[in-house]
Amino acid sequence: MLNSLRPLTGFKYQLKTLTRAMSTEPQVHPTSLNSFDSNHALYDKVRPEFSPEIVASFFKELSLETPYDGSKGQKLLELAVGTGKFTKQIVARGWGAPENLTAVEPSSGMLESFRKNFPNIDAREGSSYELPVEDSAYDAVIVSQGYHWFADHNSLKEIYRVLKPGGKLGFIWNFDMIDLGFNKNLQDPKQQLGISDEEIEIAKGWGQTALDAHAYDGDVPQYRKAEWRKSFENQSWFDKNNAVDFFKYSFLPFEKELIYDYWLSRSYITSLPDSEKAVFKKKIDEDIAALKPEQHFDDGKVKQFLGTHYFVIQSTK
């Protein structure tokens, strides 16, 4: 991990571009880094917020104070913060001062938006492979919508380094599809989500746009493929036998005029040439035109199926 190059404080360390280019250490995925640099404003505009109810449950599982009152002296690290979609929920629970929250993000574009949204939060440029923070400093590390981009042993080892003894790691994702074989995190959607047959049919309306979008994601890491789970195999830093998986869903009203933009905020769509984007937009327009007003719309807005999944695991430190 090039630990010999990290200053003792760990606060200001960044690898220089030339050093990274010559290094054999794992790097941030170029699709995520380049696309998020360019689409950060759109991402901030169209990506959904997280349910406060689910976040409260997530924080409880992470053994984090909610609301934060400082009585336990806890510290939280949010990794791959993006523009701060999840950070809003953290701040709403009383966190956000430099002594209790650190934000780390590899994309300079995303970090630019984040700092505009949260000028008072301690935000640092860095990645899961070289966290610019001290050893054994945090009670929990949270990753929202991002772990699949860096799901490997190098990341886990580095996250383990910064956790206090007994510290926990938590991932949380929103997802758009419940189709078996498409979202491999779901083995039994009716049981895991508690969703009815009627609601499954409603979800298929929004799901068709997801199918058309994800047709372009074959070569990039994605949550839906569940390959991120493999990173917990053959490792000793986290107790995989006592991990917690939690699923929940809702239907949200979504402006049909913004559906294309919603999918355009995905890295694998952002990176398409303009000609392919035009083809994709035509498919989305056709999907919207095929929706049934009585089934897939509510007060003029499309019913967006939004599932949420969180995963919490404790370190063995």
pLDDT digits (tens, 9 = 90+) for 56-112: 999 999 999 999 999 999 999 999 999 899 999 999 999 999 999 999 999 998 899
pLDDT classification of 1: cutoffs 50, 70, 90 = very low
Query: For residues 174 and 53, what is the distance between their CA atoms, to the nearest angstrom?
Result: 14
Whole-number Å distance between alpha carbons of 187 and 18? 45
Phi, psi of 23, deg, nearest 5:
-80, 150
pLDDT level of residue 222 (50, 70, 90 thresholds):
very high
DSSP 39: H
Domains and CATH numbers, the chain: 30-179+186-196+222-251+306-315 (3.40.50.150)
In this predicted structure, the answer to whether residue 241 has a pLDDT above a threshold of 60 is yes
* CA distance linking residue 231 with residue 152, whole number of Å: 5
Cα separation of the two ends of the chain: 19
The Cα-based distances of 68 to 73, 99, 145 in angstroms read 9, 12, 23
Angle, helix 274-290 to helix 197-214, in steps of 10 degrees: 160
Measure the CA–CA gap between 87 and 78, rounded to whole angstroms: 8
Lowest mean pLDDT among 45-49, 141-145, 151-155: 45-49
Radius of gyration from C-alpha coordinates of the chain: 20
